[in-house]
Amino acid sequence: MKRLAAHPPAVFGLALLLLLAVAAAAAGMAEGWLGFDAEWLDLSAQMAPPSALHPLGTDEVGRDLLLRLLRGGQISLAVGLVTALVAAFLGTLIGLTAGYLGGPIDALLMRLTDGVIALPLLPLLIVLGAVDPTRLDLPAELFRSELAGLVRIVVIIGLVGWTTVARLVRAATLTVKVQDFVRAAEALGAGPARIMAVHILPNVVSPMIVATTLSVGNIILLESALSFLGLGVQPPLPSWGNMLSAALEQMYSDPALAIWPGTLIFLTVLSFNLVGDGLQELIDPRSGKD
Amino acid sequence: MTRHLAGRFLQALLVMLVMSFLVYGLIGLMPGDPVELMAAGSPKMTPDDVARLKALYGVDRPLLERYWHWLSSAASGDLGYSRLTSQTVTAALAHPLSNTVALMATSLAVALLAAFPVGVIAALRQGRPLDHGLNLVAFAAISLPVFWLGLVLIILFAVGLAWLPASGVATVGGGGLVDRLRHLILPVAALAVASFGHYMRYMRAAMIGALRQDWIRTARAKGLSWAQVVLRHALRNALIPVVTILALDVGTLFSGVLVTETVFAYPGMGKLIYDAVMGNDYNLALAGLMLATGLTLAGSLLADLLYGLLDPRIRFR
């Protein structure tokens, strides 16, 4: 932490993230304060300019833009973070296994990783997003709630977002597994699963954290693109991405609707990238300045 | 070299095969099969008719059998009919493909032309204020959502200033080369910005790595000028890792193309895939996705080839 402070862009990113998180968390409070919630339609003020009642104005059906942005921020941040954790879990599992076991398993897993990296992800995600889960003979009630919709996005993006973590964890595992304490554990008869979990995992935590931080930005970009295309977070639940697709239709009459959600996506992704870059320089000083 | 490339080519074919099966299976999971869609459109159809039609079109057959049938006719060049465009799939793909290639090639060229010199300059000024500034610019470029940048460009240059057209490939009812180019400017700009950020960071990192090598000091000690050392010795070596990463980036570039085309209503492959998936046009969606995958894999094969050409030390077994 202290050394991170020597990296101004990372500090800036961290501060911005805290600010965004606090603002999003305060959405409920702001609703109580203003006396209406993010879904309330102010029929007397549609596409209104900023006023005392609506600090950033209202959207095309009269919902308060600021409150929708905060609620959307909750969703976008939560989906981004949870998906990043899912992806980090998958990536760590794959990277550890490939790095420690080596041989044909390593070759297979790494070809898989290369394959996923090289694919045109968004078109694939669109097909995944359009899949009707009830066709898999699963009970339909499972997929009705808003939460189920969010879980679905987390799963879809998590399935393709693990590659960075897998590669970095594998690389770190390769250097850790030849060290003496791992050899000692092997000599004592510990099985591969135990060695990976107890001896190697704690030593690959820092690349894991760096890769996860860097992938949050990418995941938020993917989520917003999917939501923008109508296959991510479904309205009326707001997310920054789906607010932009509504704004696309109002582009000529009220461009301000498009400016705010995009600016927030941009700032959030930028912050995660700056913090990730700062962390990377901490664990691998060669990658940046001398 | 030839053997290595042949091996890679076979590998790519295998990936295509696996992908086609996966996508085929996934598309089968999308809501409504072709017969159900027909039935929804004509209320007079009885359940018996639906069953008969399903048998006629083979929709009731098991997945593997249907896939095999699709694959064997696809191999003989028959990709079926497109439901949305009422054309054969091959005919429906032709124009979008050329439009997308034009868009991708132009934005790639613009991004590289900007990213290479800027990356080299940042590497030469490593750790100085200029480097920090350029890095920040690159990070900002990477963090911009492509579709939003597209929206902002439309608002600024098409709606506000009315300098450039907001959508399409050409003015309805004609338009020459200049007109087509004017339609390309905004989508290319939106796409190139994000790519620029990535490429500039690759170039900078590779250049820093190359400049740190001993033979750079040797070249300087021999009395070569700094410019010669940078351009002839460092740059050439820095290009090797950059070219590999670039080719792996074709998939990412294509994802950007998809949203860009949607925002700008640009009739290319990305918009075609999106519209086909949304409109339940299975044959078209499948063929479009496979073409996009093929394009991406061709990119990584090209990287292998360039890799060998750029670095004479690499002689594959």
CATH code, B230: 1.10.3720.10
Whether B315 maps to a domain, the answer reads no
Q: Which residue of A has its CA nearest to B12?
A: A115
pTM of the model: 0.81
Q: Comparing B214 with A132, which gets the higher pLDDT?
A: B214
> Long-range contacts made by residues B94-97, C-beta under 8 angstroms, separation at least 24?
B95/B267, B96/B267, B96/B268, B96/B269, B96/B271, B96/B272, B96/B288, B97/B268, B97/B269, B97/B291
Structural domains counted in chain B: 2
pLDDT tens digits, residue range A194-243?
888 778 888 888 888 888 888 888 888 888 888 888 887 777 788 888 88
**Do B130 and B26 belong together in one domain?**
no
A228 to B147: CB separation less than 8 angstroms, yes or no: yes
- CA–CA gap between residue A64 and residue A50 (Å, rounded): 10
The chain-wide mean pLDDT, for chain A, equals 79
pLDDT value, residue A86: 92
pLDDT tens digits, residue range B241-296?
788 777 777 777 888 888 888 888 888 888 888 888 887 777 888 888 888 888 88
% of chain A at pLDDT higher than 70: 77
First to last CA, chain B: 6
B251 to A266: CB separation less than 8 angstroms, yes or no: no
Question: Number of CB pairs < 8 Å for A and B?
Answer: 145
Q: Which residue of A has its CA nearest to B256?
A: A122
**Could you give the 3-state DSSP secondary structure of residue B87?**
strand
Beta bridge partners of B82: B87
Tell me the residues of chain B between 210 and 269 that have a Cβ less than 8 Å away from chain A. Answer: 248, 250-252, 254-255, 258-259, 262-263
pLDDT exceeds 50 at position A90: yes
Tell me the residues of chain B between 66 and 125 that have a Cβ less than 8 Å away from chain A. Answer: none
**Can you give the residue ranges of every domain in chain A?**
81-283
Segment A130-150 shows an average pLDDT of: 67
Chain A residues in contact with B262 (beta carbon < 8 A): 229
> A112 — contact with chain B (CB < 8 Å)?
no
Which domain-ending residue is among B57, B89, B121?
B89
- CA–CA gap between residue B232 and residue B226 (Å, rounded): 10
**Do B76 and B187 belong together in one domain?**
no
B270 to A123: CB separation less than 8 angstroms, yes or no: yes
pLDDT exceeds 50 at position A290: no
Segment A239-262 shows an average pLDDT of: 78
% of chain A at pLDDT higher than 90: 4
Q: Is B143 exposed, middle or buried (0-12, 13-18, 19+ CB in 10 A)?
A: buried
Beta bridge partners of B88: B81
Structure tokens that stand for B63 in this block: 């997945």
pLDDT tens digits, residue range A21-35?
887 777 666 666 666
Segment B201-229 shows an average pLDDT of: 81
Position of tokens 């793909």?
B93
pLDDT value, residue A208: 86
> A256 — contact with chain B (CB < 8 Å)?
no
Tell me the residues of chain A between 159 and 218 that have a Cβ less than 8 Å away from chain B. Answer: 217
pLDDT value, residue B317: 40
Residue from A218, A215, A216, A208 nearest A283 by CA: A208
> A121 — contact with chain B (CB < 8 Å)?
yes
Which domain-ending residue is among B68, B89, B110?
B89
Structure tokens that stand for B228 in this block: 């010669």
Tell me the residues of chain A between 222 and 251 that have a Cβ less than 8 Å away from chain B. Answer: 224-225, 228-230, 241, 244, 247-248, 251
The complex scores an ipTM of 0.78
Q: Residue A91 carries which side chain, given as an amino acid letter?
A: G
A221 to B19: CB separation less than 8 angstroms, yes or no: no
B143 to A269: CB separation less than 8 angstroms, yes or no: yes
The chain-wide mean pLDDT, for chain B, equals 79
**Do B111 and B253 belong together in one domain?**
yes
**Do B236 and B189 belong together in one domain?**
yes
- CA–CA gap between residue A197 and residue A264 (Å, rounded): 38
Q: Comparing B198 with B89, which gets the higher pLDDT?
A: B198
CA distance A204 to chain B (A): 23
Interface test with chain A among B23, B143, B277, B286, by most A beta carbons within 10 Å? B143
Q: Which pLDDT band, with edges at 50, 70 and 90, does A46 fall under?
A: low
Q: Structural domain of residue B49, as residue ranges? A: 2-89
Q: Highest mean pLDDT range out of A108-117, B141-150, B213-222, B226-235? A: B141-150
Whether B68 maps to a domain, the answer reads yes
Q: Comparing B81 with B146, which gets the higher pLDDT?
A: B146
CA distance A188 to chain B (A): 41
**Do B114 and B256 belong together in one domain?**
yes
Position of tokens 């998809």?
B258
**Do B131 and B79 belong together in one domain?**
no
pLDDT tens digits, residue range B68-120?
877 777 777 777 777 777 777 777 777 888 888 888 888 888 988 988 889 88
Interface test with chain B among A228, A231, A249, by most B beta carbons within 10 Å? A228
Chain B residues in contact with A160 (beta carbon < 8 A): none
CA distance B313 to chain A (A): 24
pLDDT value, residue A7: 77
**Do B167 and B119 belong together in one domain?**
yes
**Do B252 and B240 belong together in one domain?**
yes
Residue B173 region, left (φ>0) first, then alpha (ψ -120 to 50), else beta? left
Nearest to B289 among A118, A127, A131 (CB): A127
**Could you give the 3-state DSSP secondary structure of residue B12?**
helix
**Do B99 and B85 belong together in one domain?**
no
The domain defined by A81-283 folds into MetI-like fold (1.10.3720)
Which domain-ending residue is among B39, B62, B89?
B89
- CA–CA gap between residue A132 and residue A142 (Å, rounded): 12
A122 to B254: CB separation less than 8 angstroms, yes or no: yes
- CA–CA gap between residue A167 and residue A114 (Å, rounded): 10
First to last CA, chain A: 19
- CA–CA gap between residue B211 and residue B214 (Å, rounded): 8
Segment B143-157 shows an average pLDDT of: 85
pLDDT value, residue A254: 72
> B296 — contact with chain A (CB < 8 Å)?
yes
Q: Comparing B39 with A275, which gets the higher pLDDT?
A: A275
Nearest to A118 among B30, B278, B297 (CB): B297
**Could you give the 3-state DSSP secondary structure of residue A206?**
helix
pLDDT tens digits, residue range A106-117?
888 888 887 787
Separation in Å, CA B201 to CA A189, B26, B104, B204, B238: 45, 36, 20, 5, 12
